[in-house]
């Protein structure tokens, strides 16, 4: 499954006027993954270009990709495939198939009969529309997606990663399906039956493209984990035809021209039907190319387009040179936010991102990339902290994935790298007490520095778990949230004592304090009133996996995985979802707040789909549905499990229910239930074939009510 990283540049114009009582995404230039492309001729002889971004919807360009505008109204799920048929535009998403008949202005779900809604590939043959799914095989619609029927007879592998349809030269059509088990299947009767052909070497068949060979036959190209392969006999046999040893994520064809996008960031071009290939874009070896396309340039030729983990690149000269064209694309993977004085009486919001380093949102609501001094391999920011020097200035610290801490004292104009704590550690947590900086290094404990990171001293005595996930300073107390509970030090880390009595969930992602109340977050929120000596679950039925906690006055906010933001005004005893304006499935990873020029407090959240903002006054007193009245989801069994696990759940009243599986990054990997269910008890199995070992989350949802369980896959 594709792993998604985002960063961006943001302009907030007249924010408070527009925000009102709901969340609004902060728009800006895109630096994250582009999943797929589609093109439709416009009415003036040009071409509409469509680009789908993970959790960012679809964007439209009518000027050859120079600028982009949002075309996503009605889309509410991650997009993995696009297909244009005439003026109909289809999107395959983690929540099924969506259709737009007005160039992306509006989208409608078209999922009747689609029992697996994780749609990874789309293809068409005349009036036949095919959807390849992750675990449900292939579905056929003959009425523009209004209804679907599974067509899997003979298709023994149901994880479909690519589809291709082409005339077979005899008046019929060949439909090919590539799967995650290196297999290619052929159907000559629109999916009624399938025949398996020889396996391909490599990790999996990620993409397929078929083109007429000029002699009445078909050339079928497969992009695999080990280069591009060609079959001239409908998949009976295959020959390696180029880009050997490369993981191929995407292919596109135009006549005898082919382009291939690679996992390591390269783009290869063939002008002779795959006989030879030339590297035309290197991608610096670190930026995967998720999708590629040809599109008319308006002058009788073709431009090349590549969608990467750093946005869109376009070549107008067959790959000789490339230009980044991201203006108007909006998305930003923001792992951490922090507010700090800007030196002029205002407040900056600093954003640490998942792959492109640091950004600062200044008091004039302009977001700017601030990476001068960062080593390019350390752009993955895991933690932020600040040390106020005066009322108008502060040091900002950023912890990264390879044991380094960076600091700036000039609002990010330049950064200085500290001495490395440990080259294999993630600096998941930072905290400041006076002039002492504390760093939590995952797997290596807590370290302290009294000279802004020039020198570090390990202060982990008494820590029985060194997997540090969060740190909190409260007066003279220093708390560490670990992978096995909470620890307390009252002597600047000189010694630690475990304080986890009553914690039934011990993977402590976040800590917060409000008066005498100490809060810890894992699956739900726990509260202690005696410095951690004893804990209770503040709301027993609030069991959402929680990434972040934030205290603003008497308000406690929880940022959850896939279910947005929740608010408690009674120290966690009850919770209300405050998600109006947020798309379904969004995770709130971090919080920050500041006052604007009018004195209003604006709350910001960092998500996997950008920065979102909302006035604090607009959140208070709003009646938004969703609280502790959650569904009854039982822990899967067995857990841990190797391949298959059983999940039991209860529906308390007849309603539309979804049961979905997410990985640790919040990416949906399976949709197990997506239909109306009567009141009752249910059992479903998840076959994790095709997924790697690690932590996964099972989310049961009924409208705004939902419950999440953590699962461990060990292969």
Q: Are 549 and 486 in contact (CB under 8 A)?
A: no
- Between 500 and 631, where is the model more confident? 500
Q: Are 631 and 654 in contact (CB under 8 A)?
A: no
> How many Cβ atoms are within 10 Å of 643's Cβ, its own excluded?
13
Q: Please tell us whether the domain made up of 632-713 is placed in CATH 3.40.50.300.
A: no
pLDDT range class, residue 344, cuts 50, 70, 90: confident
Spans of all domains in the chain: 27-317, 334-619, 632-713
pLDDT at 584: 64
Residue 135 has pLDDT above 80, yes or no: yes
pLDDT digits (tens, 9 = 90+) for 1-44: 232 222 222 222 223 333 345 787 675 544 557 889 999 988 77
pLDDT digits (tens, 9 = 90+) for 381-428: 999 999 988 777 889 999 987 778 999 999 899 999 988 776 567 899
pLDDT digits (tens, 9 = 90+) for 251-281: 999 888 999 998 877 899 999 988 999 999 8
Q: Are 322 and 332 in contact (CB under 8 A)?
A: no
pLDDT digits (tens, 9 = 90+) for 179-226: 876 778 889 888 899 998 766 755 567 788 888 777 767 888 888 888
Which two three-digit tokens encode residue 81? 């495939």
Enumerate the H helices of 65-127 as residue ranges: none
Same CATH fold assignment for domains 27-317 and 334-619: yes
Give 14: exposed, middle or buried? Use CB within 10 Å, 0-12, 13-18, 19+. exposed
Which two three-digit tokens encode residue 377? 């391999």
Closest C-alpha among 12, 21, 27 to residue 609: 27
Q: Is residue 18 helix, strand or coil? A: helix
d(CA 38, CA 84): 6
> How many Cβ atoms are within 10 Å of 460's Cβ, its own excluded?
21
pLDDT at 316: 92
pLDDT at 278: 93
Please state which CATH number belongs to domain 334-619.
Answer: 2.130.10.10
pLDDT digits (tens, 9 = 90+) for 583-625: 666 789 999 999 887 778 889 999 877 788 888 877 754 434 4
| Average model confidence (pLDDT) across the chain | 83
Give the bridge partners for 239, in sequence order.
Answer: 230
Q: What angle do CA 418, 423, 424 make, to 5 degrees?
A: 140
pLDDT digits (tens, 9 = 90+) for 109-130: 999 999 988 898 999 988 899 9
Q: Report, as an integer, the average pLDDT of 155-163.
A: 88
Q: pTM (2 decimals)?
A: 0.58
Please state which CATH number belongs to domain 27-317.
Answer: 2.130.10.10
């Amino acid at each position: 499954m594709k792993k998604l990283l985002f960063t961006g540049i943001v302009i907030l114009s007249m924010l408070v006027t527009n925000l009102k009582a709901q969340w609004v995404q902060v728009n800006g230039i895109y630096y994250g993954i582009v999943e797929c492309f589609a093109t439709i001729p416009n009415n003036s002889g040009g071409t509409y270009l469509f680009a789908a971004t993970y959790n960012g919807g679809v964007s439209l360009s009518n000027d050859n990709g120079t600028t982009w505008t949002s075309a996503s109204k009605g889309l509410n799920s991650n997009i993995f495939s696009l297909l244009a048929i005439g003026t109909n535009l289809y999107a395959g998403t983690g929540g099924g198939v969506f259709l737009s008949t007005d160039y992306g202005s509006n989208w409608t779900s078209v999922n009747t009969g689609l029992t697996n809604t994780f749609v990874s590939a789309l293809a068409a043959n005349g009036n036949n529309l095919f959807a390849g799914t992750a675990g449900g095989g292939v579905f056929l619609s003959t009425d523009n997606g209004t209804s679907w029927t599974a067509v899997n007879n003979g298709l023994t592998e149901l994880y479909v990663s690519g589809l291709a349809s082409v005339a077979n030269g005899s008046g019929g059509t060949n439909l090919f399906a590539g799967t995650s088990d290196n297999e290619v299947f052929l159907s000559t009767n629109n999916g009624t039956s399938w025949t398996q052909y020889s396996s391909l070497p490599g990790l999996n068949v990620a993409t397929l493209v078929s083109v007429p060979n000029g002699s009445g036959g078909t050339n079928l190209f497969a992009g695999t984990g080990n280069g591009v392969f060609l079959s001239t006999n409908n998949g009976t046999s295959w020959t390696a035809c180029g880009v050997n040893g490369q993981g191929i994520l995407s292919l596109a064809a135009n006549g005898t021209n082919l382009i291939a996008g690679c996992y390591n960031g390269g783009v290869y071009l063939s002008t002779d039907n795959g006989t030879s290939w030339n590297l035309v874009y290197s991608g610096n070896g670190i930026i995967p190319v998720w999708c590629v396309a040809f599109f008319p340039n308006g002058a009788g030729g073709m431009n090349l387009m590549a969608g990467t983990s750093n946005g869109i690149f376009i070549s107008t000269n067959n790959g000789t040179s490339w230009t980044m064209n991201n203006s108007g694309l909006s998305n930003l993977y923001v792992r951490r936010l922090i507010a700090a004085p800007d030196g002029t009486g205002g407040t900056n919001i600093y954003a640490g991102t998942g792959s492109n380093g640091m950004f600062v949102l200044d008091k004039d609501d302009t977001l700017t990339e601030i990476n001068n001094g960062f080593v390019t391999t350390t752009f993955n920011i895991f933690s932020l902290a600040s040390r106020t020097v005066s009322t108008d200035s502060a040091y900002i610290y950023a912890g990264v994935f390879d044991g380094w801490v960076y600091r700036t004292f000039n609002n990010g104009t330049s950064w200085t790298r500290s001495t490395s704590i440990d080259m294999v550690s993630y600096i998941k947590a930072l905290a400041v007490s006076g002039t002492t900086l504390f760093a939590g290094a995952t797997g290596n404990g807590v370290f302290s520095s009294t000279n802004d990171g020039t020198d570090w001293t390990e202060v982990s005595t008494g820590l029985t778990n060194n997997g540090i996930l969060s740190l909190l300073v409260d007066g003279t107390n220093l708390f560490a949230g670990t992978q096995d509970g909470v620890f307390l030090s009252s002597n600047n880390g000189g010694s630690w004592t475990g304080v986890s009595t009553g914690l039934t969930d011990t993977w402590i992602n976040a800590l917060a304090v409000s008066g005498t109340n100490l809060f810890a977050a894992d699956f739900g929120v726990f509260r202690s009133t005696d410095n951690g000596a004893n804990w209770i679950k503040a709301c027993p039925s609030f069991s959402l996996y929680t990434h972040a906690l934030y205290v603003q006055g008497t308000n406690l906010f929880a940022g959850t995985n896939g279910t947005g933001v929740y608010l408690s005004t009674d120290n966690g005893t009850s919770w209300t979802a405050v998600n109006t304006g947020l798309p379904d499935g969004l995770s709130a990873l971090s919080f920050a707040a500041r006052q604007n020029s009018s004195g209003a407090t604006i709350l910001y959240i960092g998500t996997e789909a950008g920065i979102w903002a909302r006035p604090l006054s607009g959140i208070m007193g709003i009646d938004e549905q969703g609280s502790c009245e959650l569904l009854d989801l039982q822990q899967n069994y067995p857990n841990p499990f190797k391949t298959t696990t059983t999940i039991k759940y209860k529906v308390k009243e007849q309603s539309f229910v979804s049961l979905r599986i997410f990985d640790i990054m919040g990416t949906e990997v399976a949709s197990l239930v997506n239909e109306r269910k009567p009141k009752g008890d249910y059992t479903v199995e998840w076959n994790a074939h095709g997924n790697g070992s690690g932590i996964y989350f099972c989310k049961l949802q009924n409208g705004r009510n939902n419950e999440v369980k953590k699962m461990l896959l060990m292969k």
